[in-house]
A and B are shown apart, each in its own frame.
Chain A
Amino acid sequence: MNLTAMSDREQRGDLMAEPCLTPRVRAVFAVVGGLLAVQCAFIHFFGEPYPALTMPTFSGSSGYRDGAVEMTQYDAVFISAGQEFSFTPNELLAEFPDGHRAAIAANALRPTSDTAPTPTKASRIRRIQETIFPGFAAGNLSRNSAENKASLRAWLRGRAESLVPGRPVSRAEIRWYRVAETFGADGTRVESRRTPGGTLIVPLAGGPR
């Protein structure tokens, strides 16, 4: 084929001689379009699944309004013979990637009263969901189950041995705070207020190891 001897239209026409839009291709596009529509509806009603074709939302203003932002933070405190050893979230959850630490804390380290689900009669959809996806949000929904409590206790014991080596730790406390930060006109921090926001207490002494 002499490329220079042909016009652009002819060249393109030659390349496109084979039809690219067969019924099979049309069906693929239709199915994908349908799946994307179903995904939108699913996210709206049930929350984000994985996999889902979405990007991070960065919705709202991240709690910021009129020069102030409110958020929650926590400290991990290990208590040994009346003495307190305090650690930051990054130190407590060092073995997990930093992007995942906030989600882990929000799901598993909140004071129990904040998240414990009230026992209600499960709806039909919920029962189907539990049958097909028994692990769905298990950390949150089954937070008070004996297995979850025992696994958290065992993990905190392991962390206590690493963070406070050689000391018998009697309990771990995850102390939550509501923090209000006020920023100045130049974007620097002007004021920071912390108010207690509940504590998760996990006894570590005694019990099965």
Chain B
Amino acid sequence: MIGNFLRRSERRPIESYALSARHLAIYRMLYAAFVLVAVVPVAVWIPSAPRAFFNPPIGPAALFTNVPPSGVILGLNLLLTLFAALLFVGWRTTLASVGTGLTLLALDSWRYSLGKIDHDILLVVAPLVLGFAGWGRALSVDATRRSTTDTSEARGTEAEAWPVALFALLVGFALFTSGWAKATTGWLNPDLKCTYGHLATNYLVTGRETWAAKLALPIQSAWFWKGADWATVALELAVLPAALRRRSFCLVLALVTIFHVGVMLLFDIPFRVNVIAYGAFVRYTDLPLLASLGARPLSRKGAMAAFVAACACGLTGTLLGSGLVGNSLDEVIVGIGGLMGIVYLLRTWVRWCGGFLSDRLPTSGRLAALTVLESRATQSPRANPNGLTIGGDAPRG
């Protein structure tokens, strides 16, 4: 009995992350597109740094004693473009995922070899973990090839739950480290105004003069700023325990996306990579525009055209030296993340209110509501491909 209980409590957190391969496939394409248009090329300025500036932390770059020649960085960027393009169309997806992650890791090791680390590690971790979740089982060349050789329908419709759960745990841990560092360096101290201090120095010393900071700085309420300190610490610490269940994790992530919008407006620091990482937990085919995406296998011609276009994006960005769009989409990405967070919170709230009311409806009313739900499910089975969410309590992103 105790064994059963332990097994169940061990399985449930992971099972809560079960989702259709189509959701992850759409995320795979979004991730690869982001890498190709906004990340490539990485560290092209590194070869111009003198040896005196070479100051890497412990890691791959510290195996060397100087910055690499420009040919190495160019070669790695071309390799990253190739892997990301393969990932975009889902051609040898697992290999492309690992290749993308490792190439990005190598380039970032050089990028941070002058002593500054930008903490965008989730962009490296995502393909290395989700590559094993089966995000190439839909919307991919791999899926098309398999559908011609494998007649069984069972394989290919579901993603593996454990890599998604593992990725949630890693996201939670990463944010936890930030919250822990704050909690142990004065953010909980009632005498210190840490958010205010960072805001004032960021505005007046670093020179990031945002309109939101201009509005916020005159606020002198100690409770307001201490509240901001405590709320920040609580939110960042909460992500890790929340990762034990998908529903709680998505709720906290929705709050975190809104927090990122606040940080961007006040500090002009857009955490674009984090928002892209959180995208792994969105159920894309529940969104109206994407409901039918991935239902049909990818055509060979379409895949080839997409691959060529993806390569062209990466190569153009590399030749330009600053990427196709560079950082110009940062605000848009963080803004969309925040908007989706608000929509998710509102939807959850409405659903809770609905559940609360339906519990109090007379039996005839409940039966009518069930009939409506059932008829909806019969009319549009494609909207719920895995059947997890019809009138049940299964989590949705």
Contacts and interface: CB of A to CB of B under 8 A. Distances in A.
Contacts of B61: 50, 135
Interface in B298-337: none
Interface stretch (B141-149, B245-253, B289-297, B382-390): B382-390
Contacts of B364: none
Given A55-B174, A63-B201, A48 B57 contact: yes
B193 A61 contact: yes
B105 A51 contact: yes
Contact of A95 (B45, B51, B174, B220): B45
B112 interface: yes
B151 interface: no
Contacts of A132: 63
Interface in A4-27: 4, 6, 8, 11-12, 15-16, 19-21, 25
B175 interface: yes
A50 B57 contact: yes
B109 A152 contact: no
Interface stretch (B32-40, B76-84, B348-356, B373-381): B373-381
Contact of A69 (B116, B121, B197, B384): B197
A58 to B, nearest CB: 6
Interface string B234-247: 00100000000000
B59 interface: yes
A56 interface: yes
B170 interface: yes
A116 interface: no
A3 B377 CA distance: 8
B366 interface: no
Interface in B190-234: 192-194, 196-198, 200-205, 217-218, 220
Nearest to B61: A135
B162 A155 contact: no
B177 A71 contact: no
B40 to A, nearest CB: 15
B15 to A, nearest CB: 6
A57 B183 CA distance: 10
Interface in A25-64: 25, 28-29, 32, 36, 40, 42, 46-64
B57 A136 contact: yes
Contacts of B116: 99-100, 102-104
B50 A50 contact: no
Nearest to B161: A20
A108 B55 contact: yes
B121 A54 contact: yes
Interface in A148-200: 148-149, 151-152, 154-155, 179, 181, 183, 185-189
Contacts of A63: 197, 201
Contacts of A52: 117, 121
Given A3-B377, A50-B59, A189-B204, A108 B53 contact: yes
B11 interface: yes
B200 A187 contact: yes
A31 B248 CA distance: 25
B230 to A, nearest CB: 14
Contacts of B174: 53-55
A16 B44 CA distance: 47
Contacts of B392: 8, 11-12
A58 B54 CA distance: 24
B387 A20 contact: no
A179 B174 CA distance: 34
A135 B18 contact: no
B14 A21 contact: yes
A53 B174 CA distance: 5
A147 interface: yes
A136 B197 contact: no
Given A3-B377, A55-B174, A95-B45, A133 B388 contact: no
A154 B62 contact: no
A20 B166 CA distance: 12
A96 B45 contact: yes
Interface in B155-192: 158, 160-162, 166, 169-170, 173-175, 177-178, 181-182, 184-186, 192
B369 interface: no
B60 to A, nearest CB: 8
Contacts of A58: 178, 181-182, 194, 198
B372 interface: no
Nearest to B157: A15
Given A15-B388, A53-B125, A21 B10 contact: yes
A14 B63 CA distance: 50
Contacts of B200: 62, 64, 69, 183, 187
Nearest to A32: B166
A103 to B, nearest CB: 4
Given A12-B388, A64-B198, A49 B18 contact: no
Interface of B: 7, 10-11, 14-15, 18, 45, 48-66, 105, 108-109, 112-119, 121, 124-125, 158, 160-162, 166, 169-170, 173-175, 177-178, 181-182, 184-186, 192-194, 196-198, 200-205, 217-218, 220, 236, 274, 374, 377-378, 381, 384, 386-388, 390-394
15 contacts: A21-B11, A25-B14, A40-B177, A55-B175, A61-B186, A62-B201, A64-B193, A100-B115, A102-B116, A104-B115, A107-B53, A107-B115, A129-B58, A134-B63, A155-B52
